[in-house]
Amino acid sequence: MNTIDIINKTKRKEPLTREEIEYLVNGYTSGEIPDYQMSAWLMAVCLNGLTDEETLALTLAMRDSGDILDLSGINGITVDKHSTGGVGDKTTLIIGPAAAACGVYVPKMSGRGLGHTGGTIDKLESINGYRTELDFDEFLNIVNQTGFSVISQSGSLCPADKKIYALRNATGTVDSIPLICASIMSKKLAVNADCILLDVKWGTGAFMKTREEAEKLAAIMEKTAKAAGKKCRAVVTDMNEPLGCAIGNTVEIREAVDILQGRSKGRLYRICIELTADMLELAGKGTHEECAEMAKKAISSGRALEIFRKTIELHGGDSRICDDTDLLPKARYSHVICASRDVEIISINAEELGMASLMLGAGRVCKSDDIDRSAGIILEFEAGDKISMDAPLMTLYSNVCSDFHEAAMRAYKAIKFRNLTERTLT
């Protein structure tokens, strides 16, 4: 085969065979195909797209470039969940224990945060002693004991994706739905759970900015998973506003524990119940309505919290935080932003609040950056709330930033208000 011929076929919108795609992926991963040729092909894909069959072939070739996990040692139905990322998304920490409390097994590999979106691994590592890098046998043992475990992504999983994604990032070829699908689904298929739930987000705080884009991505990812022999459901959720009131790492652990303790039943709780019900329904536990009731009882009974506690303990973490979140690391500095007048909250720009959190040290600009796990933002409102003058709107936390002026201005400007006195928008 000839790489130039493959590039030209995609330029002319001529479908590639499975063998041609495997040749391209394997050749690039091994170093036989240079960056400049792969870049040309990626740009052709961005401009002309791929068929569903090509997308599946690309996904499977990337999956097969590394290890595929053998989860047969887990004693029941396994369900994996993936979110396309957002601001304040700590759903894995809630729905994983809740689903496990209802009898399914949730073995999960997660990544670290980059930019304004947070990473589940960073959040868990804000718990003192929590280990995210475990050998596979220990991982399986924890899943069998508690039904739930989250560890760092294995370096031997999908090496083709790592190399191709780095090239996409450097060549402006990230925003292609077939390439996004192949990147996500190759890793999900390599984890090899029986069922996969995909939470595809759209809005200001998500990669997909419109619902239409998110629906297209959700459809092709679900179709690809099913064609690969997996039970899969893709749901589209709103990320125009942060998911919950906490944005950061330690602060999001606190909020997740509040939910698992049954102390909070706002928008985050409702979304987690729906996602847990989706996982349970995929695993054959009943209708969606029956599964939603099971999820609610898992939390109200305290069973989900006990699973989270035991999982933390087995990972070497301080499980006492399940009773007292004050044991989590605290930031040295804080800054409260108050309302300057009586206002109603019209909308919240999730991306801008995520960027403000990044400025406080809660995220990374580059993968090699260190993060301040105690940094972040806690909101005191949701859209639609009315706030009195001088009442707190949000609190900013940081260990590395004692001058909050720039971050506070960005966070404040992320909120659209209605002045209740003058009836004008600000």
Computed over its alpha carbons, how large is the radius of gyration of the chain? Answer: 22
Q: Does domain 3-49 have CATH number 2.40.40.20?
A: no
At 421 the pLDDT is: 74
Closest to 180 measured CA to CA, from 91, 85, 312: 85
Burial of 242 (0-12, 13-18, 19+ CB in 10 A): buried
Contacts of 57 (CB under 8 A, 6+ apart): 16, 17, 18, 21, 22
The encoded tokens of residue 246 equal 């906490």
d(CA 335, CA 29): 48
pLDDT digits 0-9 by tens, 267-291: 999 999 999 999 999 999 999 999 9
- Distance between start and end Cα atoms, the chain: 61
Count other Cβ atoms within 10 Å, centred on residue 418.
15
**Angle subtended by helix axes 35-48 and 18-30, to nearest 10:** 140
Q: Identify the CA nearest to 48 among candidates 237, 178, 216.
A: 178
Amino acid 383: pLDDT: 86
Q: Running DSSP on this structure, what letter comes out for residue 78?
A: B
User: Are 184 and 59 within 8 A, CB to CB?
Assistant: no
Composition of the chain by helix, strand, coil, percent to 5: 45, 15, 35
- Cβ-based neighbours of 287, under 8 Å, separated by 6 or more: 281
Residue 251 pLDDT greater than 90, yes or no? yes
Residue recorded with tokens 């795609």: 21
Q: Which residues contact 245 (CB under 8 A, 6 or more apart)?
A: 88, 255, 266, 268, 378, 379, 380, 382
- Give CATH superfamily name and number for 330-425: Pyrimidine nucleoside phosphorylase-like, C-terminal domain (3.90.1170.30)
φ, ψ for residue 155, nearest 5 deg: -70, -20
Q: Is pLDDT of 330 > 60? A: yes
CB 135 within 8 A of CB 294: no
pTM equals: 0.92
Domain ranges of the chain: 3-49, 79-322, 330-425
The torsion of the CA quartet 22, 152, 200, 101, rounded to 10 degrees, works out to: 120
Predicted confidence at residue 115, as pLDDT, reads 61
pLDDT digits (tens, 9 = 90+) for 16-58: 999 999 999 999 999 999 999 999 999 999 999 999 999 999 9
CB 316 within 8 A of CB 129: yes
pLDDT tens, position by position, 143-153: 999 999 999 98
Residue range 379-425, pLDDT digits in tens: 998 888 899 999 999 999 999 888 899 999 999 999 999 888 755 44
Distance CA 301, CA 256 (A): 16
- At 353 the pLDDT is 94
Domain 79-322 falls under CATH 3.20.20.140? no
Share of the chain above pLDDT 90, in %: 84
The torsion angles phi and psi of 352, rounded to 5 degrees, stand at -65, -40
Distant-in-sequence, close-in-space partners of 405: CB < 8 Å, separation ≥ 6 = none
Query: In the prediction, which pLDDT does 160 show?
Result: 96
Distance CA(71)–CA(73), nearest Å, equals: 5
**3-class SS of residue 136:** helix
Name beta bridge partners: 387: 343
Active-site annotation, residues: 82, 161, 168, 183, 187
